[in-house]
């Protein structure tokens, strides 16, 4: 059934293969059901790749459905950001975007059906009393005094709730299952609560909202979902999922299957914590390039292919584990190493004046766009009398091991000539403001006779370049597990104070003038970078995507 380019097999694919082989299903229909209460993160990417990937591989369908039952925490901003992220990852949902709120009428009908069957009741215990009555893991719960109300009374009370005649917190609708169940989720779970707030999709139409555990199985059944995949924390909710499917009249009988969530070290993957980072200003926004959000990773320079590759590498299992950030970084490094055009960018420019080069002479040199891939062509690199090199590529004195420019010695300007440093000029503060050099005209594409140059360095013309700001990033947290903190501390205490370093006066080669937002480059000897949307016509901003080599 699956083709050889498909992701490696896993227990979910095996389950689907059995369902198809034994005729339980004829077509695979999955869904990705985000709650629009924040931006998607790398963990969601795993769920997206799994659900949409299965639909692609089995020629089935995958729906995008907003699980929007908590109007207070949700917003249209999140709804659009989530759609953008799913599309950007390279997936297309079947038909229109769907909303659980689009099923509020049917979900309400299911509630009424359960009341009529004597399987649901309106409870007027306070939240605190309900907690007490629920019991504990060791002790069974006890029935609410409202548990045995008549069907007629329940219908009337539920209608009052819907009509807005019951205050928030004064009554809820509960399933009548088993107060002594060893599974606390089955001790008469709440199905509906009163919330007198507007909803981003349904406006003021409703003042009662269904709970996730009631909404989800009904939405799945209405959409004909065959395999409802969710993370392990829902395992104990599965009996409730099945109970709802069993007792409500629905067009299909979906099944829930759980898989392990993706955990990544040196970051947090909880929307609540990510929102806190944004709201408290620890980062510049949901798309701050240090964030593990899809929007942040996109801005950082990750490609959709690299994220899909990463999700394949991680695989799908039933056991929880923590994936090393290095794996994510190597997925994008492999992609960019193969595909990113090369360019020069000098982060800490210092001027080099080549005294034997005519003042107005410009020679256009050629550099390969990719040294291992000739098909990508060449790039023009203008050579002029004044060029910039990196301050860190020059020393007045150094031993032979130093492979860069040293006073009185030679180095090659990559794809250009060999230069010799003759003298330094200092500014009033004593800092080197200029290195006076000479060049050897006989060294383009060949080595000087009888002398050995120290090394090769990158450079940029001082008169023909693009001004830029370069933002270097390090991990957002210093702790591998920011959540596991000592008493009295939170994940915020392990934020890395040095996660961002800005080089505001960098210069990049002229060919980058036309680089577009999100385009990725390898800055030779520096790392992989992507154009940030903060760029303007005459000043580019680049984000470090990932270093050239693994740093940990």
Smallest gap from Cβ 43 to ligand ATP, in A, equals 2
Secondary structure (DSSP) of 75-107: -HHHHHHHHHHHHHTT---SSS-EEGGGGHHHH
Which residue in the list 46, 98, 162, 271 is annotated as catalytic?
A: 271
Task: Say which entry of ligand ATP, Mg ion, none residue 545 contacts (CB below 5 to 8 A, set by partner kind).
Answer: none
138 noted as active-site residue:
no
Burial 51-72, CB ≥16 within 10 A → b, else e: bbbbbbbbebbbbbbbbbbbbe
Rule CB under 6 A: say whether 237 interacts with ligand ATP.
no
Token pair belonging to 391: 């301050």
Give the one residue of 30, 47, 215, 303 binding ligand ATP; rule: CB under 6 A.
47
Give whichever of 36 and 367 is closer to Mg ion, judged by the CB atom.
Answer: 36
Smallest gap from Cβ 294 to ligand ATP, in A, equals 12
Q: How far apart are CA 497 and CA 475, in angstroms?
A: 10
Give the one residue of 98, 216, 255, 271 binding ligand ATP; rule: CB under 6 A.
271
- When CB distances to ligand ATP are compared, the closest residue is 43
Q: Of 398, 425, 426, give the one whose Cα is nearest residue 411.
A: 398
Element of type H or E holding 213: helix 212-222
Smallest gap from Cβ 303 to Mg ion, in A, equals 27
Which residue in the list 73, 142, 160, 261 is annotated as catalytic?
A: 261
Rule CB under 6 A: say whether 46 interacts with ligand ATP.
yes
Given a contact cutoff of 8 angstroms between Cβ atoms, the answer to whether 352 and 531 are in contact is no
The one segment of 29-37, 385-393, 426-434, 485-493 that binds ligand ATP by CB under 6 A: 29-37
HSE of 264, CA atoms in CB hemisphere, 13 A: 25
Q: How far apart are CA 36 and CA 73, in angstroms?
A: 8
Of 35-54, which residues contact Mg ion (CB under 5 A)? Answer: 35
Of 413-442, which residues contact ligand ATP (CB under 6 A)? Answer: none
HSE of 402, CA atoms in CB hemisphere, 13 A: 14
271 noted as active-site residue:
yes
Binding mask 520-549 for ligand ATP (x = CB under 6 A): ------------------------------
Give the one residue of 19, 35, 178, 505 binding ligand ATP; rule: CB under 6 A.
35
Helix/strand/coil (H, E, C) string of 225-281? CCEEEEEHHHHHHHHHHHHHHHHCCCCCCCEEEEECCEEECCCCCCHHHHHHHHHCC
Give, in order, the Cα–Cα distances in Å from 551 to each of 165, 330, 520, 527, 548: 62, 11, 20, 11, 9
Place of tokens 């009163």: 194
The one segment of 9-17, 18-26, 31-39, 471-479 that binds ligand ATP by CB under 6 A: 31-39
Q: Of 143, 97, 78, 527, give the one whose Cα is nearest residue 332.
A: 527
Smallest gap from Cβ 453 to ligand ATP, in A, equals 51
Give whichever of 147 and 200 is closer to Mg ion, judged by the CB atom.
Answer: 200
261 noted as active-site residue:
yes
Q: How far apart are CA 242 and CA 222, in angstroms?
A: 15
The one segment of 103-111, 134-142, 263-271, 310-318 that binds ligand ATP by CB under 6 A: 263-271
Place of tokens 């919330």: 195
Rule CB under 6 A: say whether 269 interacts with ligand ATP.
yes
Q: Which residues make up the interface to ligand ATP (CB under 6 A)?
A: 33-35, 43-44, 46-47, 67, 230-231, 261-262, 269-271
Catalytic residue positions?
A: 35, 261, 271
Q: Which residues make up the interface to Mg ion (CB under 5 A)?
A: 35
């Amino acid at each position: 059934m699956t083709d050889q380019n498909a992701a490696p097999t896993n227990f979910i694919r095996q389950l689907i293969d059995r369902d198809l082989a034994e005729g339980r299903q004829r077509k695979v229909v999955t869904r990705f059901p985000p709650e629009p209460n924040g931006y998607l993160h790398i963990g969601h990417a795993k769920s997206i790749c799994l659900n949409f990937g299965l639909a692609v591989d089995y020629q089935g369908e995958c729906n995008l459905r907003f699980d929007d039952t908590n109007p207070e925490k949700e917003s249209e901003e999140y709804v659009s950001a989530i759609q953008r992220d799913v599309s950007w990852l390279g997936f297309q949902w079947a038909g229109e975007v769907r909303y659980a709120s689009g099923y509020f009428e049917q979900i309400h009908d299911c509630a009424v059906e359960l009341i009529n069957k004597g399987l649901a009741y309106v409870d007027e215990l306070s939240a605190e009393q309900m907690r007490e009555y629920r019991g504990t893991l060791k002790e069974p719960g006890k029935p609410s005094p409202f548990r045995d109300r008549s069907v007629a009374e329940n219908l009337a009370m539920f209608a009052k709730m819907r009509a807005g005649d019951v205050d928030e917190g004064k009554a809820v609708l509960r399933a009548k299952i088993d107060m002594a169940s060893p599974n606390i989720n089955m001790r008469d779970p709440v199905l509906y609560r009163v919330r007198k707030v507007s909803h981003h999709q349904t406006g003021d139409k409703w003042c009662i909202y269904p709970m996730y555990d009631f909404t989800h199985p009904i939405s799945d059944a209405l959409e004909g979902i065959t395999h409802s995949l969710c993370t392990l924390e829902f395992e104990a909710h599965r009996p409730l999922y099945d109970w709802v499917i069993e007792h409500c009249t629905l067009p299909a009988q979906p099944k829930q299957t759980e898989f392990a969530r993706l955990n990544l070290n040196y970051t947090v993957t909880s929307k609540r914590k990510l929102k806190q980072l944004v709201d408290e200003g620890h980062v510049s926004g949901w798309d701050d390039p240090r964030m593990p959000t899809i929007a942040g990773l996109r801005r950082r320079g990750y490609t959709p292919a690299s994220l899909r590759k990463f999700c394949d590498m991680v695989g799908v299992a039933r056991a929880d584990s923590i994936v090393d950030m290095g794996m994510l970084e190597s997925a994008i490094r492999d992609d960019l190493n193969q595909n990113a055009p090369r360019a020069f960018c000098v982060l800490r420019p210092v001027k080099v004046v080549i005294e034997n080069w005519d003042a107005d002479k410009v020679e256009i040199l050629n550099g390969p766009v990719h040294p291992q891939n000739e098909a990508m062509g060449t790039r023009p690199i203008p050579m002029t009398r004044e060029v910039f090199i990196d301050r860190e590529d020059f020393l007045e004195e150094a031993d032979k091991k130093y492979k860069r420019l040293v006073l009185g010695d030679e180095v090659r300007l990559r794809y250009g000539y060999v230069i010799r440093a003759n003298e330094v000029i200092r500014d009033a503060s004593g800092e080197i403001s200029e290195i006076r050099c000479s060049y050897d005209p006989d060294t383009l594409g060949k080595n000087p006779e009888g002398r050995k140059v120290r090394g090769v360095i990158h450079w940029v013309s001082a008169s023909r370049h693009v001004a830029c700001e370069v933002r270097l990033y390090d991990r957002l947290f210093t702790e591998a597990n920011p959540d596991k903190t000592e008493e009295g501390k939170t994940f915020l205490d392990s934020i890395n104070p040095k996660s961002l370093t800005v080089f505001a006066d960098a210069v990049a080669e002229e060919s980058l003038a036309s680089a577009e937002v999100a385009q990725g480059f390898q800055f030779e000897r520096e790392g992989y970078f992507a154009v940030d949307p903060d760029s303007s016509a005459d000043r580019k901003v680049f984000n470090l995507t990932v270093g050239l080599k693994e740093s940990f």
